[in-house]
Chains A and B, each alone.
Chain A
Amino acid sequence: MPLDTSTYSLALLRVDGRRWNELRRLHAQIRIQAAADGSSYLEMGNTKVMCVLTGPSEAQQQQQGQRRGQATAGGGKNASINVSIVVAGFASVDHKKRGRNDKRTQELELTIAKTFASVVHTHLFPNSSISLALHVLSADGSLLAALLNAATLALIDAGIPMSDYIAACTAGSTSSYAAADDSADPLLDLNTQEEQELPFITVATLGETDRVAVLNCESRVQVSRLEGMLAVAVDGCKEVKQLLDKAIKAKGAKMIREGAAEKSDAMAMDLDE
C-alpha cells in the first residue's frame, strides 16, 4: 500500500513518471458559457473543475446573510462573495456522496470566499454580490488549488477588478512523518495517490509574489519540512500563474482576431504570438 519510495529514490521518478518539480498538464479555458457573466474550465492533470460566475449583481436579501450550502465573505457595504461547491457523484472512485452540509465542503467554500474577498476590489461594488458556482467533475488531488485557480479565471473573465491573480498548487514531502531522514525530497503538485500517502500542503499566492493567501495542511509532518515544502509550492504557484496568464492572453488574442473585442492602443500584446 505505501507509495514505493524505494523506486522513487532509485530513478527519482514519481508514480506517474514526473520529476519532483514537475506540474501535471494544466489546461485552462475561459468563457465556456455564453450565459454566464464569467466562466472557466480547468484541468490540473485528472482534476477537472468548472466555475460559473454570476455578478456583480444586486445582493439578494438573504436571511442572516447566508443561504444553506453557501459560504459568504465580505459583505456589508462592500460586495459579498458567495461560493458554492458541488462535487459530482462521479468525481472520484469511491462514489461517496457529499451532502450540502458536509463540513469539509463548507470549509473549502469559506476558504475560497475569504481568499477572494481580500483580493477582489469589493469596495467598487457596494451592496452587491458575486456568486461563484464551482463544480468538481473529476477529483484527482490538489482539489482546493484547482478550485482557486478556476475561480481566478472566472473572475478575470467577468472583468471584475482584482489586485492580482490567485495562483495555487500543492507540495508534498517524500518523508513519512515518523521518519526523520534528511534525504526526503519535496514534491510538487500531488495526485490523489500521492496525497493519500504523503504529507502535503496547499498554497495559494498573490500572483507571482512570495505572498501567501492560503496555506493549508491536513496531514502530520515534521515542522522542519514546512520550509522546503513552502518554497517548492510558492515556485509552483508562480509557474501556475504564468500558465493561467497564457490561457487568458490566448483567449484575448483570439477574440481580437475574431473581432469580438477591439484592440486598444494601450495593449502591448503581440497577436501573432
Chain B
Amino acid sequence: MPREAEPSLNERNFVSRALEEGLRVDGRKFDQCRPVSLKFGDEFGVAEVQFGKTKVLVKVSAEVTVPYTDRPFEGVFSIASELSPMVAPSFEVNRPTETEVLLSRMLEKTIRRSGALDTESLCLVAGKKCWSIRADVHVLSLDGNLTDAACLAVVAALRHFRKPDSSIEGEILTVYTPAEREPVPLSWLHSPFCITFSYFGEEGDTAVLLDTTWLEEQLRTSSCTFSLNRHGEICQVSKLGGVSIDAPVFVQCAQVALAKSKEYTELVDRKLAEDAKSRDKGGLMAELTAENDR
C-alpha cells in the first residue's frame, strides 16, 4: 500500500533552522501548547479533547460482570485504544502498529496501574458480581501529541462518568435506572496527566518542545513522556530510546511537567464544574414539584 508522504528535505531544513533561531513553524513558543478544548457530551462519560487539529473522543461504559478469579474483590477496568483507518489509511483494524502499542501501554501505565480508579469500589458481590468499567478511546484526527490528548480525554471522561446506583439486600442485587436513583460517580483517587517533551537536534539539545505537531513529531530525535498528578507524584516516565539526553534535563522537564499537570487538573475541574452547573435542575425536589412556572 502506498505510504504517507514523508517530510521533504526543505521542511526538515526549515524546521531545524527555525528551531535554532528559537522559532516554531506555527509561531508558538517552545513550551506553548496549542489551544486545548475539552467538551463533555450529553451523556455521562463522553469527553472530546482537541489539541489544535488532534481530536480524541472517549466514551466510558459500565456493565455488571463476573470478577477475575484471582482478584475476587476487585472490579474490572479496561482502556481500549484502537487507531482506526479514520486517522490515516496506514492504520489497519486488528493490526496494532507501533503507535498503537505505545499509546495503549502509556494509558495503561498512567491511569490503570497508577491506581487512579479504585477498582475495589467496583466490587458488588465478592467473587460473583462486579462492575466492569471500559473506556473506549477513539482518535478522530491526528496532528501530533496524541498521548497527551488521549490521556486528558480518558481522565476527563472517567471523572465525568456516572454509573447506575445499586444496592444489596441479602442475596439480591438491585441496579437502579437513572430515573429511580441518581447515578453515582466513580471512586476516583487521583488524576494523572501525560506530558510529552520532544527533543530536537543531533545531540537533542537544540530545542525541547511541548505539544508537537505531526510534522515536528516526524523530525524529532527523541522524546520523553512524564505522567504526573497535581500532588507531584510521578506515575510513569518513559524515554524509550532515541538520542541520548543529559541527565539534568530530565529533572527540569519533570518540574515543567508538574506545572503543566496542575494546569490540566484545573482545566478538567473547571469544565466539570461548568458541566455540572448546566445539568443542575435544582435536584430531585425541583423535578418532583408539581408547581408550574407562571
* Chain B residues with CB under 8 A of A115: 240-242
Q: Is B235 among interface residues, defined by CB-CB distance under 8 A?
A: yes
B242 adjacent to A213 (CB under 8 Å): yes
Q: Is A117 among interface residues, defined by CB-CB distance under 8 A?
A: yes
A71 adjacent to B98 (CB under 8 Å): yes
What is the distance, in angstroms, from B203's C-beta to the closest C-beta of chain A? 8
Residues 216-266 of B contacting A (Cβ, < 8 Å): 221-222, 224, 228, 232-248, 250-251, 254-255, 258
B247 adjacent to A234 (CB under 8 Å): yes
What is the distance, in angstroms, from B280's C-beta to the closest C-beta of chain A? 35
B246 adjacent to A211 (CB under 8 Å): yes
B101 adjacent to A106 (CB under 8 Å): yes
Please give the number of chain B residues whose Cβ is less than 8 angstroms from any Cβ of chain A in the complex. Answer: 37
Q: Is B34 among interface residues, defined by CB-CB distance under 8 A?
A: no
Binary flags per residue of B7-30, CB closer than 8 Å to A gives 1, else 0? 000000000000000000000000
A222-B234, A223-B234, A223-B258 known; A114+B251 contact, CB < 8 A: no
A212 adjacent to B250 (CB under 8 Å): yes
Q: Is B114 among interface residues, defined by CB-CB distance under 8 A?
A: yes
In the complex, which residue of chain A has the Cβ closest to the Cβ of B243?
A118
Distance, CA A209 to CA B238, complexed state (A): 20
Distance, CA A107 to CA B113, complexed state (A): 16
* Chain B residues with CB under 8 A of A227: 251
In the complex, which residue of chain A has the Cβ closest to the Cβ of B108?
A103
* Chain B residues with CB under 8 A of A214: 239-241
Of the candidates B113, B237, B241, the one whose C-beta lies within 8 Å of that of A114 is: B241
B245 adjacent to A223 (CB under 8 Å): no
Q: Is B65 among interface residues, defined by CB-CB distance under 8 A?
A: no
Main SS of the interface on chain A? mixed
A212 adjacent to B241 (CB under 8 Å): no
In the complex, which residue of chain A has the Cβ closest to the Cβ of B238?
A216
Binary flags per residue of B112-137, CB closer than 8 Å to A gives 1, else 0? 01110000000000000000000000
A110-B240, A111-B240, A218-B113 known; A211+B245 contact, CB < 8 A: yes
Q: Is A132 among interface residues, defined by CB-CB distance under 8 A?
A: no
* Chain B residues with CB under 8 A of A224: 232
* Chain B residues with CB under 8 A of A230: 247, 250-251
B232 adjacent to A223 (CB under 8 Å): yes
Distance, CA A73 to CA B242, complexed state (A): 10
A107-B101, A118-B221, A230-B251 known; A213+B244 contact, CB < 8 A: yes
* Chain B residues with CB under 8 A of A223: 228, 232-234, 254-255, 258
In the complex, which residue of chain B has the Cβ closest to the Cβ of A210?
B247
Which of B222, B224, B241, B248 has the largest number of chain A CB atoms within 10 A?
B241
A220 adjacent to B114 (CB under 8 Å): yes
A212 adjacent to B237 (CB under 8 Å): no
Q: Is A113 among interface residues, defined by CB-CB distance under 8 A?
A: yes
A215 adjacent to B246 (CB under 8 Å): no
Distance, CA A212 to CA B197, complexed state (A): 15
A201 adjacent to B98 (CB under 8 Å): no
Q: Is A30 among interface residues, defined by CB-CB distance under 8 A?
A: no
In the complex, which residue of chain A has the Cβ closest to the Cβ of B240?
A111
Distance, CA A177 to CA B232, complexed state (A): 10
What is the distance, in angstroms, from B69's C-beta to the closest C-beta of chain A? 15
What is the distance, in angstroms, from A98's C-beta to the closest C-beta of chain B? 14
Distance, CA A111 to CA B238, complexed state (A): 10
- The 3 residue pairs across chains A and B that have the minimum distance between CB atoms: A114-B241, A211-B244, A115-B241
Sample (9) of A-B pairs whose CB atoms are under 8 Å apart: A101-B96, A103-B101, A104-B105, A106-B101, A212-B245, A220-B235, A223-B255, A226-B254, A227-B251
Q: Which residues of B contact A (CB under 8 A)?
A: 96, 98, 101-102, 104-105, 108-109, 113-115, 221-222, 224, 228, 232-248, 250-251, 254-255, 258
Apart from A106-B101, A114-B242, A212-B244: 15 A-B pairs, beta carbons within 8 A = A71-B98, A107-B105, A114-B240, A118-B241, A205-B247, A210-B248, A211-B247, A212-B239, A213-B243, A213-B244, A215-B224, A217-B234, A217-B238, A218-B113, A223-B255
Q: Which residues of A contact B (CB under 8 A)?
A: 66, 71, 73, 101, 103-104, 106-107, 110-118, 177, 201, 205-206, 209-218, 220-224, 226-227, 230-231, 234
